[in-house]
Amino acid sequence: MEQMHSPMPQDLKGLADALEAAEARLQSILQTVPDAMIIIDEQGRIESLSTTAERLFGYVKSEVVGRKVDLFMSTPHREQHDSYLKRYLSTGERRIIGIGRVVTGRRKDGTTFPMHLTVGELQLADRHYFTGFIRDLTDQQLTESRLKELQSEVTHMSRFMALGEMASTLAHEINQPLTAIANYLKGCRRLLERMAGEQALVLHDAVSKAADQALRAGDIIRRLREFVARGESERRIESLPKLIEDASTLALIGAKENAVTVSFRLDPAADLVLADRIQIQQVLVNLIRNAIEVMSEGGQRRQLDIATVANGGDLVEVSVSDTGAGIAPEVAAQLFQPFVTTKRKGMGLGLSICRTIIEAHGGKIWVDTPPGGGTIFRFTLRAANEEDRSLVE
Ligand code: ADP
């Protein structure tokens, strides 16, 4: 058998340094990680825990290190935990490791709460360690109801906006023939003025009334367009990362099934913006849903990127990029026009609503087609400046 090479003292020193560095790294992770994490040894004794875990269970680290982890559990798991560990170590049968489940946690004061527990396993030399990741579901239940509320707000708003967009398009389409009618009638009236006779007078009167009505219809339409253009947007100072987080949570429901990977690159300098929260969320939901849809049609790589960047001035730019098939040439030129769609069930209103919203916010929306394929939608929003902030405070 090959002899193990025993480390030289210098190697040992290096090893000790490396271990110390690893330990320091672990401690700093545990202090900063936003999740509740608990590391236990194979006897179920607590080795370490994250600051969030201390807070969640109401203990300080020194009170619990070395004690059994069943401290954090409630009946029946509390009594059973030793046997769970023994069973796993002897049979290797996984009941929670890598699977995760909802269990009841127990705080120092004896109160309990629903939590989701996932357990990871770590083997160092011949010893097993287990890492528990805990999510407090009390919050999640709150989030779920908040999400539902948000969803209904955004759906409501999107119907309202779709209606507005339709009204505006119709108004535009109807306005042109109305103007033409008014012009023809004016021409007729001039001709009739030059004709003599009783009937010409009656006709002149009728044509004048018809022209008035055409103008009146035009006025109604103009007012309708103005109303739609004004919309009901109510701009406030909002946190852009929060807007993005909420909107993407909504839009990404079900995205996992399409094997889409999402990444966020949020510029810390792109923080507060002036926005109507629901409307901007709607823009984001539209763009993200379009991106997911196009990627679910095929293609190997399904990568969705949501990024923000502050331009140093008073604008921030938000981008949503996908690795889909790109914009179909037949719609490219009119992408932001209403009723332009390549989808069998599409209304073609999404992007035109996005444009209306962004322009009402004083921003711009456009599309880039990167050379490597896919599509990037970008839009700008006005960053909240000192003056805006002081007005709120
Ligand atoms: P709809 O989704 O109802 O078709 P939209 O206005 O949201 O309406 O989109 C219009 C069209 O733009 C879509 O039908 C599609 O052809 C194209 N499109 C939108 N987003 C993307 C994207 N990320 N990649 C490729 N094409 C897109």
Give the distance (Å) from ligand 1 centre to CA of residue 290.
Answer: 6
User: Which amino acid residue places its CA nearest to atom 27 of ligand 1?
Assistant: 327
CA distances from 29 to 24, 26, 37, 52, 266 (A): 9, 5, 10, 11, 21
- pLDDT band at residue 87, thresholds of 50, 70 and 90? confident
Give the distance (Å) from ligand 1 centre to CA of residue 144.
Answer: 29
CA distances from 65 to 39, 45, 60, 232 (A): 10, 7, 9, 56
Averaged pLDDT for residues 170-189? 88
pLDDT tens digits, 255-283: 666 788 889 999 999 999 999 888 898 89
Across the chain, what does the average pLDDT equal? 84
Instruction: Give the model's pLDDT for residue 343.
Output: 86
Task: Out of 70-84, 137-151, 218-232, pick the least confident.
Answer: 218-232
Answer yes or no: is pLDDT of 4 > 60: no
Instruction: Give the model's pLDDT for residue 254.
Output: 65
Ligand 1 atom closest to the Cα of residue 328 is: 16
- 3-class DSSP state of 316: strand
For the chain, percent of residues with pLDDT exceeding 70? 91
Give the distance (Å) from ligand 1 centre to CA of residue 342.
Answer: 7
Buried b (16+ CB within 10 A) or exposed e, 79-95: eebeeebeebeeeeeee
pTM of the model: 0.56
Ligand 1 atom closest to the Cα of residue 374 is: 24
Give the distance (Å) from ligand 1 centre to CA of residue 341.
Answer: 6
Identify whether 76 is preceded by a cis peptide bond (ω within 30 of 0).
yes
Instruction: Give the model's pLDDT for residue 233.
Output: 62
Task: Write out residues with Cβ below 6 Å of ligand 1.
Answer: 286, 290-291, 294, 322, 324, 326-328, 331, 335, 340-343, 346-352, 375
- pLDDT band at residue 2, thresholds of 50, 70 and 90? very low
- pLDDT band at residue 379, thresholds of 50, 70 and 90? very high
Answer yes or no: is pLDDT of 53 > 60: yes
Q: Count the neighbouring beta carbons within 10 Å of the beta carbon of residue 45.
A: 13
pLDDT tens digits, 304-355: 999 999 987 899 999 999 999 999 999 998 999 888 888 887 778 889 889 9
Residue 200's closest CA among 192, 210, 209?
192
Instruction: Give the model's pLDDT for residue 271.
Output: 92
**Whole-number Å distance between alpha carbons of 237 and 234:** 10
Give the distance (Å) from ligand 1 centre to CA of residue 303.
Answer: 17
Stretch (H or E) spanning 91: helix 77-91
Instruction: Give the model's pLDDT for residue 3.
Output: 46
Instruction: Give the model's pLDDT for residue 216.
Output: 81
Task: Out of 101-110, 202-211, 319-328, pick the least confident.
Answer: 101-110
Answer yes or no: is pLDDT of 1 > 60: no
- pLDDT band at residue 10, thresholds of 50, 70 and 90? low
CA distances from 30 to 4, 84, 193, 352 (A): 34, 25, 91, 47
Instruction: Give the model's pLDDT for residue 42.
Output: 87
If one compares 53 and 217, the residue with the highest pLDDT of the two is 53
Q: Count the neighbouring beta carbons within 10 Å of the beta carbon of residue 154.
A: 22
DSSP state letter for 345:
T
Q: Please choose from 344, 351, 366 the residue to mutate so as to test ligand 1's pocket, defined by most ligand atoms within 8 A of CB.
A: 351
DSSP state letter for 325:
S
